[in-house]
Amino acid sequence: MIHRYEIITIVSISLVYLLLAGCFTQPDIPKINPKEINIGVAKLCLKDISKKYQSKYLTYKGHFDAWYFRWKSTHGYELDKNDRNYLIDYNFFEEAVNCHILSSGDDGLNMTLSSIEFKSIFNVVAKNYGITERLN
């Protein structure tokens, strides 16, 4: 008659054998360098910035308009088509800038710059990433 502790011993030995034989190994996962992913994401963000850039987004009036349109929309006021489009484009631009900051770790390109500073820094950063888009 086999006792319970003998069954546990047999099962334990069997599991150890299976582990040693490699039955429970993880499948090979391709090794991707996280730095390469961040560079790719930063490039995509720079392309989005170049698509949606408008110098008025970096002025006090541009920031205020975006804040005001957000306030109106969150408090139930209706936005006309132009205001809604402005807010959508501004948010897209702002998120692209934030995406670049988070993926690259470089906050040199940010929403607090003047439009001249932003364009100058963007063109240098884009050139460093090998992107042909430039802000005029």
3 state SS of 135: coil
Domain spans of the chain, in order of start: 31-128
Q: Output the average pLDDT for the chain.
A: 84
What is the pLDDT confidence band of residue 133, given thresholds at 50, 70 and 90?
confident
pTM above 0.75, yes or no: no
**How many CA atoms are closer than 13 Å to the CA of 121, on its beta-carbon side?**
17
Q: Determine the average pLDDT of the residues in 95-116.
A: 88
d(CA 115, CA 36): 30
Q: Give yes or no for residue 66 having a pLDDT over 60.
A: yes
Alpha helices in the chain (DSSP H): 4-21, 34-52, 60-74, 81-104, 115-128
The pLDDT of residue 41 is 86
What is the pLDDT confidence band of residue 71, given thresholds at 50, 70 and 90?
very high
What b/e string do you get for 61-76 counting C-beta neighbours within 10 Å, with b at 16 or more? ebbebbeebeeeeeee
Q: Give yes or no for residue 83 having a pLDDT over 70.
A: yes
Q: Give yes or no for residue 64 having a pLDDT over 90.
A: yes
The pLDDT of residue 79 is 93
Q: What is the share, in percent, of the chain residues with pLDDT greater than 90?
A: 50
d(CA 98, CA 58): 14
Which residue, 61, 116, 117, is CA-closest to 90? 61
